[in-house]
C-alpha cells in the first residue's frame, strides 16, 4: 500500500475513534464504518484500529472473523446478499440465483473481475412475506423475479 | 417499503396511540405504579423466551448501581420473523416510548437499540425519529419537565450474526467482542452491559408496555388466555394467499390462523421459526399460546407440495452456519444432525442411526450453553416424528421416492 493511502486511512480511522470514543465498545461501529467505506477491513486497518483502541490486533481480527458482514479480504464494490432461507427458497430463490450467476458470470461466493459485485448468500432478511429478497449493500429488494433481480443489478452504477 | 401492507387492525398493539402520550402520563406516576400495572397485565416477553416483563424490570429496578441500561433487542434473526420490522418502520412511537417507560421504571438514563445489520436501511429514519423526540423533550434531560428524568436512546447495528439476538451474546457484541453467549447466572438484570444492571427486551414487548401503561393491566388481560395475556404479532409466511404481520389474541388456533391468511392444502406449520416445532394437520387445533404452541411470532406454512426433508435441511444448514462454535454439543451436534438429514435425502440411513441422532438432539437440548443449541434440535425431532409417514414409510422402501 502506498504511504499516502496509509496515512489517509489512518486519518479516517482516527476520525472514527474521535466520533465513537476509544473504548472497546466502539470496536464494532468503527469496523462497520471501515467495512462500509472500503468493503473490507485490511490488515493495516486492523492494526490501526487495534493501536487506537489499545487492544491486540488479533482481537480485532477475531471479531471480524465472527461477523458475517465484516470481511478481512477485499470484496466487490457492491455486496449482493440473496436470502437462502426456506420461505425465500420456496418463493423461487434458486431461479433468481441462477439468473444472477449467469448474468454476472460468477458463482455465489465470488467477485466479478471488474470488482463491481460480490455475490453471497444470507440467512433470513426479515422479508419473508415478500420473498424472494436480497440486500445490495444496505438496500433491501423484495419480491424478486429472475428478471427483476438482474435489472436491479444492471441499474447499479 | 411495505408494498403489501395489509390494513393493520388489532385490539391491542395496533390500537390508537399518539407519540408521547404515555410519557406524559408516566411522569405523574411512580415506579411502583408502573410495575403494578405490568404485573397485573401478566405480560410475558415477546422475544421468544416468555419471561414475565414485570419481574425483569423489578429486578433491574432493585439492583443498585451507578448506571443502568435498557436494551431493545431488534436483532430479529429468527427465520420467518419480521414483525419487529413492521413495528420499527410503522410504529416507532410504540417502541421508543416503551423504552422511555423502561428507563423511567428501572432507573436507567441510557437506552440502546440493537438493530440487526440487515435492517440498516431503517437506520436513518429511526435516527430522525429520535431527533424529533428530542425536539419535543420526549428524550433528553428533564423529560416532559420532570426534574431529573433524563433518558436518551442510541441505535447500534449488528453485523449479521443470528446468535447476537441471544441477550448475553448481544451484550458481548455491544461491548466490542465476538457475539458469544455468556454463562448465566449472572443475569443481565444484575450484570449486563458494561457490568451494569440491564434489562433486555424485545421490540414488541416495549410496544405492549406502552398500551398497558396507557390503558391498564386489566384492559390488557381481557385479551388472550389466562396464562398468555394480551395479543401477539404473528409473522406469517409461506404457502398462503396473504402473508404478512397479523395481530391476533393469544389462544387463536392454528386452523383459525390458516383461515385468516388464506392458506389451503396445508400440510405443515412451523411455529416459532427454525428453532421452533413443526406441526402436522392433526395438531392444527392447538392454540398459539405460551402454554400450548408458544412462539416469538414466526409462522411458516407449507402446503402439500413441499418436501419436508428439504425444509428440515434448510433449517439445519441455518444452525450449522449460525452456531457460534463455543460449546461442543451445538458446534458438533448441528453438523451431525445436518449429515443425518442428508443421509435421509439420499436414502442412505439406518433407523438405528436416526434414532441415535434424535437422542443426540435431546442431549443438545439440555447440554448446550445457550438457547441456539438448546432449540436447534426442535425442528429435527418434530419433523422426523410428525412427518415420518412421508419421510420414511412412503411405500418406496423408505427412500422418499428418490
Ligand atoms: C439464538 C437466539 C436468538 C435470539 N434472537 C432474539 C431476537 O432476535 N430478538 C429478541 O427479542 N429476542 C431474541 N432472543 C431471546 C433473547 O435472548 C431474550 O430472551 C429476549 O430479548 C428478552 O426479551 P423479552 O423478555 O422482551 O422477550 C434470542 C435467543 C436466542 C437463544
Ligand atoms: S449453544 Fe451454540 S450458539 Fe450457543 S454458546 Fe453453544 S455453540 Fe454458541
Ligand atoms: S426467508 Fe428470506 S427473508 Fe425470511
Q: Residue A85 is part of a domain; what is its CATH number?
A: 3.40.30.10
Coil, helix or strand for B151? Answer: strand
Alpha carbon distance B207, B210 (integer Å): 5
Whether B355 and B315 have beta carbons less than 8 Å apart is answered as no
Does a structural domain hold residue B7?
A: no
- Copy the grid coordinates of residue B399: 427412500
Expressed as residue numbers, the domain containing A41 is: 8-66
Residues A44 and A102 in one domain: no
pLDDT tens-digit profile of B259-275? 999 999 999 999 999 99
Residues A93 and A151 in one domain: yes
CA B372 to ligand 1: nearest atom? 1
| Average pLDDT for B27-53 | 95
* CB-based pocket (< 6 A), ligand 1: B 45-49, 51, 73, 75-78, 162-163, 165-167, 200-202, 205, 370-372
Which percentage of chain A shows pLDDT scores above 90? 95
Q: Of the candidates B243, B266, B244, B246, which has an alpha carbon nearest to the alpha carbon of residue B255?
A: B266
Question: Residue of the nearest CA to atom 25 in ligand 1?
Answer: B45
At residue B198, the pLDDT reads 98
| Average pLDDT for B249-263 | 97
- Copy the grid coordinates of residue B81: 420473523
Residues B282 and B379 in one domain: no
- Compute and round to an integer the Cα radius of gyration of chain A: 18
Residues A46 and A104 in one domain: no
Instruction: Choose one of A23, A42, A66: the last residue of a domain.
Output: A66
Residues B68 and B177 in one domain: yes
Instruction: Choose one of B182, B198, B220: the last residue of a domain.
Output: B220
Alpha-carbon torsion angle B367, B160, A131, A134, nearest 10: -150
Does a structural domain hold residue B146?
A: yes
CA B172 to chain centre: 19
SS (H, E, C) A54-99: CCCHHHHHHHHHHCCCCCCCCCCCEEEEEECCHHHHHCCHHHHHHH
| Dist. CA B86 → ligand 3 center (Å) | 15
Alpha carbon distance B120, A89 (integer Å): 23
The contacts of residue B214 (CB under 8 Å, 6+ apart) are: B17, B21, B22, B25
pLDDT tens-digit profile of B294-319? 888 999 999 999 999 999 999 999 99
When divided into structural domains, chain B yields a total of: 3
Residues B383 and B344 in one domain: yes
CA B281 to chain centre: 25
Whether B104 and B65 have beta carbons less than 8 Å apart is answered as no
Residues B183 and B124 in one domain: yes
The verdict on the CB of residue B169 being under 6 Å from ligand 2 is: no
Residues A62 and A122 in one domain: no
Residues B154 and B289 in one domain: no
Residues B163 and B239 in one domain: no
Does a structural domain hold residue A41?
A: yes
Give the β-pairing of B277-280 and B152-157.
unpaired
DSSP tag of B183? P
Does a structural domain hold residue B400?
A: no
pLDDT tens-digit profile of A69-120? 999 999 999 999 999 999 999 999 999 999 999 999 999 999 999 999 999 9
Expressed as residue numbers, the domain containing B346 is: 308-392
At residue A27, the pLDDT reads 98
CA A87 to ligand 3: nearest atom? 1
Residues A90 and A129 in one domain: yes
Coil, helix or strand for B288? Answer: strand
Does a structural domain hold residue A72?
A: no
* B231: β partners: B249
Residues B288 and B337 in one domain: no
Q: Using the predicted structure, report yes or no on whether residue B397 has a pLDDT greater than 70.
A: no
Cβ separation of B85 and A85 shorter than 8 Å?
no
Q: Map grid coordinates 448474468 to a residue.
A: A103
Please, how many CA atoms are within 13 Å of residue B360, restricted to the half-sphere of its CB?
Answer: 21
Alpha carbon distance B270, A58 (integer Å): 41
- Copy the grid coordinates of residue A71: 470481511
Alpha carbon distance B299, B276 (integer Å): 9
Residues A56 and A32 in one domain: yes
Q: Other CB atoms closer than 10 Å to residue B395's CB: what's the count? A: 7
Residues A87 and A124 in one domain: yes
- Which CATH number does the domain housing residue A38 bear? 1.10.10
* B72: β partners: B113, B201
Segment (H or E) for A51: helix A43-53
When divided into structural domains, chain A yields a total of: 2
Residues A61 and A88 in one domain: no
| Average pLDDT for B341-367 | 97
Coil, helix or strand for A151? Answer: helix
The verdict on the CB of residue B328 being under 6 Å from ligand 2 is: no
Residues A83 and A110 in one domain: yes
Does a structural domain hold residue B6?
A: no
Amino acid at each position: 500500500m502506498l504511504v499516502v493511502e496509509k496515512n489517509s486511512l489512518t486519518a479516517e480511522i482516527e476520525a472514527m475513534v474521535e466520533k465513537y470514543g476509544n473504548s472497546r465498545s466502539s470496536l464494532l461501529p468503527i469496523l462497520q464504518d471501515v467495512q462500509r467505506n472500503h468493503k473490507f477491513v485490511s490488515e493495516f486497518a486492523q492494526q490501526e484500529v487495534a493501536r487506537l483502541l489499545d487492544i491486540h490486533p488479533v482481537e480485532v481480527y477475531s471479531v471480524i472473523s465472527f461477523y458475517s458482514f465484516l470481511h478481512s479480504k477485499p470484496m466487490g464494490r457492491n455486496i449482493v446478499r440473496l436470502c437462502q432461507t426456506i420461505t425465500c427458497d420456496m418463493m423461487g430463490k434458486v431461479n433468481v440465483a441462477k439468473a444472477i450467476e449467469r448474468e454476472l458470470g460468477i458463482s455465489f461466493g465470488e467477485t466479478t473481475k471488474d470488482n463491481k459485485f460480490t455475490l453471497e448468500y444470507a440467512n433470513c432478511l426479515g422479508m419473508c412475506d415478500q420473498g424472494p429478497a436480497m440486500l445490495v449493500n444496505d438496500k433491501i429488494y423484495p419480491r424478486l423475479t429472475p428478471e427483476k433481480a438482474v435489472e436491479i443489478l444492471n441499474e447499479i452504477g | 417499503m411495505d408494498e403489501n401492507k395489509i390494513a393493520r387492525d388489532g385490539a391491542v398493539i395496533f390500537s390508537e396511540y399518539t407519540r408521547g402520550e404515555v410519557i406524559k402520563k408516566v411522569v405523574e406516576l411512580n415506579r411502583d405504579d408502573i410495575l403494578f400495572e405490568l404485573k397485573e397485565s401478566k405480560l410475558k416477553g415477546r422475544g421468544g423466551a416468555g419471561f414475565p416483563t414485570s419481574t425483569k424490570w423489578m429486578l433491574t429496578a432493585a439492583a443498585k448501581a451507578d448506571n443502568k441500561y435498557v436494551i431493545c433487542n431488534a436483532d430479529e434473526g429468527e427465520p420467518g420473523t419480521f414483525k419487529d420490522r413492521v413495528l420499527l418502520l410503522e410504529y416507532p412511537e410504540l417502541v421508543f416510548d416503551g423504552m422511555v417507560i423502561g428507563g423511567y421504571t428501572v432507573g436507567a438514563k441510557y437506552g440502546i437499540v440493537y438493530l440487526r445489520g440487515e435492517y440498516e436501511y431503517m437506520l436513518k429514519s429511526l435516527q430522525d425519529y429520535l431527533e424529533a423526540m428530542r425536539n419535543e423533550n420526549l428524550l433528553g434531560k428533564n423529560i416532559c419537565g420532570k426534574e431529573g428524568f433524563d433518558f436518551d436512546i442510541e441505535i447500534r447495528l449488528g453485523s449479521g450474526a443470528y446468535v447476537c439476538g441471544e441477550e448475553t451474546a448481544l451484550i458481548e457484541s455491544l461491548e466490542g467482542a465476538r457475539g458469544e453467549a455468556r454463562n448465566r447466572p449472572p443475569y443481565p438484570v444484575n450484570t449486563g452491559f458494561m457490568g451494569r444492571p440491564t434489562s433486555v427486551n424485545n421490540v414488541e414487548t416495549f410496544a405492549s408496555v406502552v398500551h398497558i401503561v396507557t390503558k391498564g393491566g386489566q384492559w390488557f388481560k381481557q385479551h388472550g388466555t389466562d396464562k398468555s395475556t394480551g395479543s401477539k404479532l404473528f409473522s406469517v409466511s409461506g404457502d398462503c394467499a396473504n402473508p404478512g404481520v397479523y395481530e391476533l389474541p393469544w389462544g387463536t388456533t392454528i386452523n383459525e390462523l390458516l383461515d385468516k391468511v388464506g392458506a389451503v392444502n396445508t400440510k405443515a406449520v412451523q411455529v416459532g421459526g427454525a428453532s421452533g416445532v413443526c406441526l402436522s394437520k392433526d395438531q392444527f387445533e392447538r392454540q398459539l399460546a405460551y402454554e400450548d404452541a408458544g412462539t416469538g411470532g414466526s409462522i411458516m406454512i407449507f402446503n402439500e407440495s413441499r418436501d419436508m426433508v428439504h425444509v428440515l435441511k434448510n433449517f439445519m444448514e441455518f444452525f450449522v452456519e449460525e452456531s457460534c462454535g463455543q460449546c461442543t454439543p451445538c458446534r458438533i451436534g448441528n453438523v451431525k444432525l445436518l449429515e443425518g438429514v442428508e443421509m435421509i435425502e439420499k436414502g442412505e440411513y439406518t433407523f438405528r442411526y436416526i434414532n441415535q441422532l434424535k437422542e443426540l438432539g435431546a442431549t443438545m437440548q439440555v447440554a448446550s450453553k445457550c438457547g441456539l443449541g438448546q432449540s436447534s434440535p426442535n425442528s429435527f425431532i418434530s419433523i422426523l416424528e410428525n412427518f415420518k409417514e412421508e419421510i420414511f414409510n412412503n411405500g418406496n422402501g423408505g427412500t422418499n421416492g428418490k
